[in-house]
Amino acid sequence: MTRPKTLVTRGLVEAPLARLRAGTDATVNLADRALSRAELLAGVRDVEGLLCMVTDRIDAELLDAAPRLRVVSNHAVGYDNVDVAAATERGIWVTNTPDVLTEDTADLAFALLLAVSRRVVEGDAFARSGEWGGWEPLQMLGSSVAGATLGLVGFGRIGQAVARRAAAFGMRVLYWNRTRLPAGEEAALGVAYAPLNELLSASRFVSVHVAGAPETRHLIDAAALQLIGPGGFLINTARGAVVDERALVSALQEGRIAGAGLDVYENEPQLTPGLADCRNAVLTPHLGSSTVETRTAMGDLAVDNLLAVLAGQPPLHAVNPEVAGRLRR
């Protein structure tokens, strides 16, 4: 019996990859780079399942190049890299990997908050430089976290996980979200709702946790950075395009905000000119889910989604569940 063909656009943790290879005729990109557009278009020509990364653009052109494709299994929670409407129109499932990376991403958001406020990266470089002459009372003064106000822009799973961490530091937590939580849930989490501009003005730390979408592009723009002000810090572990990076570089260079901690970038992997030179920015290379445990869980879930569809079953986590109705017609 011929096994279904699948394409995996980057290497995965071995355990889920072995399961995929056991159940399908899998082609896996093991090169230390992303597939080029031409390679991706050629690679999907005769596959039934595509396991892709958030860095792969899955649009109508690619879907049309894959006439046998039945499922796009996105190895991520976000799926702004996939044209979901185009996939649904063609009866193709789109899936994602929610829940599994919540805690690790929240950990990294808080790590960036601590690192930039306490100048950890600068301090590490200074200690290694050979120029440190010993303790001084005014040396590398940072900003206290305990008792400060944290504003969370977006309050889904990751935003709420960050709020739980903030509670341990005695922080006052404000949140803004498209949908406000019931009062009982706010009380249980120890948070208060605030309109976005009010949150930005009132918070020393602003951490971004909204999904990438046209309506959230440049949500944090020059005007928003002005509201955060010269004593404030911006943390972004969501999507790079949520922040106007040019405006952020100007604000960092001119001292209009105190600092930023970024794990995602507007034109990733390229950085906006000037950002790498900002000593008041801590920059990490998209490490939000980068632990062995989480990447294994993500791989398992992405493979489970893909194999379910190829077995004629609905996937565990469908972005477009309405495709089931189209397939029944």
- pLDDT digit string (tens) for 244-288? 999 999 999 999 999 999 999 999 999 999 999 999 999 999 999
Please indicate, yes or no, whether residues 70 and 219 belong to a single structural domain of this protein: no
For the chain, give the mean pLDDT. 96
Distance CA 20, CA 152 (A): 38
96-155 residue pLDDT tens: 999 899 999 999 999 999 999 999 999 999 999 999 999 999 999 999 999 999 999 999
**Which active-site residues does the annotation give?**
239, 268, 286
How many domains, in total, are found in the chain? 2
Q: What is the DSSP string of 217-255?
A: TTSB-HHHHHHH-TT-EEEE-S-GGGB-HHHHHHHHHTT
Give 329's pLDDT tier (boundaries 50, 70, 90): low
Nearest to 114 by CA among 78, 92, 145: 145
Q: Are residues 258 and 310 in the same domain?
A: no
Q: Specify whether 323 is located in the same domain as 257.
A: no
Q: Which domain holds residue 247?
A: 102-283
- Residues 128, 75 share a domain: no
CB-CB contact of 181 with 87 (8 Å): no
Per-residue pLDDT for 32 more than 90?
Answer: no
| Local confidence band at 1 (pLDDT 50, 70, 90 cut-offs) | low
pLDDT of residue 325: 78
Residues 122, 62: Cα–Cα separation, whole Å: 44
SS3 label, residue 205: strand
Same domain, 154 and 259: yes
Q: Is the pLDDT of residue 26 over 90?
A: yes
Q: State whether 51 and 174 are in the same domain.
A: no
Last residue of a domain, one of 264, 283, 302: 283
Q: Residue 244 and residue 223: Cα distance in Å, rounded? A: 10
CA distance 113 to 237: 11
First and final C-alpha spacing in the chain: 27
Do 124 and 244 reside in the same domain of the chain?
Answer: yes
Quick one: 78 and 131 in the same domain?
no
Same structural domain for residues 82 and 144?
no
Section 199-210 average pLDDT = 98
302 vs 110: CA distance, rounded Å: 27
Same structural domain for residues 122 and 232?
yes
- Which CATH number goes with the domain that contains 96? 3.40.50.720
| Ramachandran assignment for 143, one of left (phi > 0), alpha (psi -120 to 50 degrees), beta (any other) | beta
Give residue 92's identity as a one-letter amino acid code: I
Geometric angle at alpha carbon 19, from 16 and 21, rounded to 5°? 110
User: pLDDT (tens digit, 9 = 90+) per residue, 50-92?
Assistant: 999 999 999 999 999 999 999 999 999 989 999 999 999 999 9
Do 70 and 159 lie in one domain? The reply is no
CB 297 within 8 A of CB 100: yes
| Cβ atoms 171, 146 nearer than 8 A | yes
Q: Are residues 122 and 86 in the same domain?
A: no
Residue 230 to residues 113, 143, 172, 243, 280, Cα–Cα distance (Å): 16, 12, 19, 17, 12
Residue 108: the pLDDT is 98
